[in-house]
Structure 1
Amino acid sequence: MSWLSKVRNSLGGLTKRDTPDNLWTKCPGCGEMLFTREFEDNLSVCPRCQFHGRIGAQARFDQLLDAGYAVLPAARVPENPLNFRDSKKYSDRLKIARAANPFPDALTNALGTVEGRKVVLGVQDFAFMGGSMGMAVGEAFVEAVERAIAEDCGYVICTAAGGARMQEGILSLMQMPKATVAIRRLARAGLPYIVVLTDPTTGGVTASYAMLGDVQIAEPGALIGFAGQRVIQDTIREKLPDGFQRAEYLHAHGMVDMVVHRKDLKGTLASLLEYLERKEVA
């Protein structure tokens, strides 16, 4: 018996055909091949170069909230209000996105606790149509703020978006002032609003609720900006510094309050919620 046959027998007769397709993950940062399970067990952070991979809403809830959290009902809004169609109907694109994702739109909220501190946590999932901001996202944001006020707790949102959803035109842009008004209501209630900027956070999301937090946190290496680097360079006709839209550069220049490693994010949020919670007047 050859050594290869012995190895296969020791692995229970595992053949190439039996090997799962997602056994390995290539790190986008350093290019190393990682065991997918090892990568996911490390919070989807490369153990070699610390590159922070993109994660979905479910993984984010599991990482940040204590056990026993409840996902809040999805916002209900008209679908395809403009009867938009390009190469496909917008309604068909929504069906495709929903079939490939666990939640019905780009922003999902949950009610739970972070190390015992009650909170409403919202997560934008870039996998759902690039995390784009449409009517459902705007309504979900407002409903989350209203729930936070009703529960007398803070609202934390993890942003990830390519901007406004083009298929909803001006209706998507109207979500910017809508979310801003909701944040103002949360502030008047004396409750904290914390933003966690994840990769990427761009466009109209950056121009509205992503940059209005009481505290702005960013994950390491996250791309954060309004317009793309090439667009800005062509507009001002100047070469921009390397990494000027990355979390570390923005932190050094005062646009972000802190850059926090994913393994430290839950503890950081718990401390901030404790510090910012409304104090009863004696």
Structure 2
Amino acid sequence: MNWITNYVRPQINSLFSRREVPENLWTKCPECGTMLFHRELSGNQNVCSNCDHHMAISPRDRFHALFDGGIFTEVKVPDPVADPLHFRDQKKYPDRVKAAQKASGERDAMLVAEGEINRTPIVAAAQDFAFMAGSMGMYVGNAIIAAAERAVKLKRPLVLFSASGGARMQEGMLSLMQMPRTTVAVQMLKEAGLPYIVVLTHPTTGGVTASYAML
């Protein structure tokens, strides 16, 4: 009896026990509800193989698809003053930023990089809607200015992928000030005679649409 209890039963239980499945193994299509194997979805540029629904793409994945060989170099973006308004709703603003950084692995809602497309060097910037809805704050403003200055310095085109719900409310008027700041950055490119190409991705709304996304 002890042999059955101590050895046989645990073996049977382990045989039929539910195995742990990694959480990121499957992705559910928000349009048709089909469960898609993550690797297959990634290989199909985040497009559902059942209904052709286009899902969001992170800036890094977008750059891997955009640049030759998926090779790119990040452009450093100056860090702005953290929480200048000491904003708080249900959470403190710095806590929301830290949570978004942990979830996305990025510093903020925009990534800037340089690389080549068909051997033509360019500078690119991409917003991450997964980071606080891609909201435009001081960091995003700094990122666009850094991208424009880099493009002008190297005499390269700037390609920008927008994805944003608009201005970041936690930064108040400072967020709205990014509209004229980014407009000046785009004007720098035009005065230098450099191409400025904006790829509007879903969703692009609010102050982002009213500034650098439509210039």
Common fold, TM-score beyond 0.5? yes
Matched with 1:104 is 107
33 and 179 in structure 1: CA distance in 2 versus 1, 3 angstrom threshold = same
20 and 190 in structure 1: CA distance in 2 versus 1, 3 angstrom threshold = same
Matched with 2:74 is 71
Matched with 1:138 is 141
Q: Deviations over 1:184-230 (max 9, x none)?
A: 11001000000111111111111111111xxxxxxxxxxxxxxxxxx
Which residue, out of 152, 155, 159, partners 1:152? 155
Matched with 2:41 is 39
Which residue, out of 186, 191, 205, partners 1:202? 205
Matched with 2:28 is 26
Matched with 1:58 is 60
174 and 35 in structure 1: CA distance in 2 versus 1, 3 angstrom threshold = same
**Unmatched runs of 5 consecutive residues or more in structure 2:** 1-14
TM-score of the pair, normalised by structure 2: 0.88
Matched with 2:126 is 123
Matched with 1:190 is 193
Q: Measure how far apart 1:160 and its partner are.
A: 0.6
Q: Is the partner of 1:126 in helix, strand or coil? A: coil
Question: 1:153-172 counterparts in 2 under 5 A?
Answer: 153-172=156-175
The answer to whether 1:177 aligns with 2:167 is no
Q: Is the partner of 1:103 in helix, strand or coil? A: coil
TM-score of the pair, normalised by structure 1: 0.68
Matched with 1:241 is none
Q: How many angstroms apart in 1 are the aligned matches of 2:58 and 2:179? A: 23
Q: Deviations over 1:32-90 (max 9, x none)?
A: 22222111110101122211100111111101012331011132210111111112211
> How well do the aligned residues superpose, as a CA RMSD in angstroms?
1.5
Name the larger-Rg structure.
Answer: 2
Q: How many angstroms apart in 2 are the aligned matches of 1:15 and 1:66? A: 46
The count of corresponding residues between Structure 1 and Structure 2 is 200
15 and 53 in structure 1: CA distance in 2 versus 1, 3 angstrom threshold = farther
Q: How many angstroms apart in 2 are the aligned matches of 1:14 and 1:57? A: 41
User: Contact (CA 8 Å) 1:74, 1:104: kept in 2 or not?
Assistant: no
Q: Is the partner of 2:153 in helix, strand or coil? A: helix
**Unmatched runs of 5 consecutive residues or more in structure 1:** 1-12, 213-282
Q: How many angstroms apart in 2 are the aligned matches of 1:65 and 1:14? A: 47
Q: How many angstroms apart in 1 are the aligned matches of 2:31 and 2:127? A: 22
User: What percent identity do the matched residue pairs reach?
Assistant: 53
The answer to whether 1:17 aligns with 2:19 is yes
136 and 164 in structure 1: CA distance in 2 versus 1, 3 angstrom threshold = same
Q: Measure how far apart 1:19 and its partner are.
A: 2.5
31 and 139 in structure 1: CA distance in 2 versus 1, 3 angstrom threshold = same
